[in-house]
Amino acid sequence: MTVVGARPQFVKIAPLSRALRRHVREILVHTGQHYDRDMSDAFFAELRIPRPDIHLGVGSGSHGRMTALILERLEAAMLARKPDVVIVIGDTNSTLAAALSAAKLQIPVAHVEAGLRSFDMRMPEEINRRIADHVSALLLCPTTDAVRNLRAEGITKGVHLVGDVMMDAVLQNLARVRRLRSPTAHAPKSYYLATIHRQENVDDEGRLRAILGVLQGASRPVLLPMHPRTRERLRRLRITLGGAIEILPPQPYLGMLRLLGDARGLLTDSGGLQKEAFIVGTPCLTMRDATEWVETLRGGANRLVGADAAKIARGLGAIEKLPRHRPASSLYGGGRASGRIARLVSRFARGR
Ligand code: UD1
């Protein structure tokens, strides 16, 4: 049983589900954490993800409520369907709830993206990924740093370095992205791409205003696909955006990769986009105080600038001078992570 619920998990389940179905029978569960068409269904259609076998329909809510609803509904689904292994991905509330549900029922958990750490416990994602790792039987790590992080926490059994499923997704879709008409009329390299949605930025008015202030004053257009959480927050705070910022609706996967590949630089607080920028060779400023994708920082392709207006402005200056680094197709397992995971999971299930 694989469990997904939020946008980044839809991207990752696309290659994973395809690989899994060559080896095992997959029961795909959608928790309903993300439900807007452009946050959910659009990804299933574009990435040809199989229709979920079970939809829990939990919707939005506080962390406690969302986690509790998933726990309750997923427990019932697991008791009814009796999966041999439950596969969880990443670090969202859906990840945490699914890992807990399975562990409590003594069903082995396989965690995809195990071992990542930002060492910042103010981030809900850090709590989710730590707990998921500590109840997992199979820890499927994207990087050697992740393996090392687990070892430092005493976790060595069931740990496998498999590479990153998001790399698989990028490689499997590059040709389609190249054929796509760009979602913007701006010429390649003439604009920045930006996203802001993390709780620590969006829910903190000071940080949010500092970030938006710099983006509005940028020397090039800043294309900002708007996450629903951010849109809601701006409405509440009565903030209207202007200056260099151009608001776009949430973008589908291929369109976003196209915008990213053509951008002069990326400014983001997303985990996945930092890595995608690194993969396609676009310089990135990460508007967070810590990142779990530390390998992107080495060599300066990605810089941590927090929500500090001066650091962000300096970072933009640096991007203008930075030569584009070459995209590396051998990174993160070179596109073979999903196949490795599928084989490990199937071998594990047969061995029980
Ligand atoms: C979640 C993940 C985050 C991930 C992000 C990707 C957690 C704790 N966070 O954050 O790690 O980077 O997904 O997008 O799981 N909303 C809608 N429509 C939707 C989805 C959300 O309007 O389809 C709005 C609702 O007002 C909701 C808010 O966005 O309350 C936040 O959604 P939520 O799923 O709680 O967290 P994200 O910020 O999306």
State the pLDDT at residue 324. 67
**How far from the centroid of its chain's Cα atoms is residue 24's Cα?**
25
Note the pLDDT of residue 159: 98
pLDDT number for residue 76: 98
- pLDDT at position 54: 98
**Residue 111 buriedness (CB in 10 A; 0-12 / 13-18 / 19+):** buried
Amino acid at 181: R
What is the rounded CA–CA span in Å between residue 88 and residue 140?
10
pLDDT mean by block of 10 residues, the chain; 352 residues: 98 98 98 98 98 98 98 98 98 98 98 97 96 98 97 98 97 96 97 97 97 98 98 97 98 98 97 95 96 92 96 95 73 95 97 86
Residue 70 DSSP SS3: helix
Domains (ranges, CATH) in the chain? 2-163+336-351 (3.40.50.2000), 175-321 (3.40.50.2000)
Count other Cβ atoms within 10 Å, centred on residue 107. 17
Catalytic residue among 23, 197, 227, 325: 197
Q: Which is the closest atom of ligand 1 to the Cα of 197?
A: 38
Pocket-testing residue among 38, 226, 229, ligand 1, by greatest number of atoms within 8 A of Cβ: 229
Note the pLDDT of residue 34. 98
Active site residue 227: no
What is the reported pTM? 0.97
Question: For residue 330, what pLDDT is reported?
Answer: 80
Distance 200 CA to ligand 1 centre (A): 13
Q: What pLDDT does 29 receive?
A: 99
Angle at 263 between CA 237 and CA 273, to 5 degrees: 65
Classify residue 38 by burial, with Cβ atoms within 10 Å: 0-12, 13-18, 19+. Answer: middle
Is residue 2 exposed (0-12), middle (13-18) or buried (19+ Cβ within 10 Å)? buried
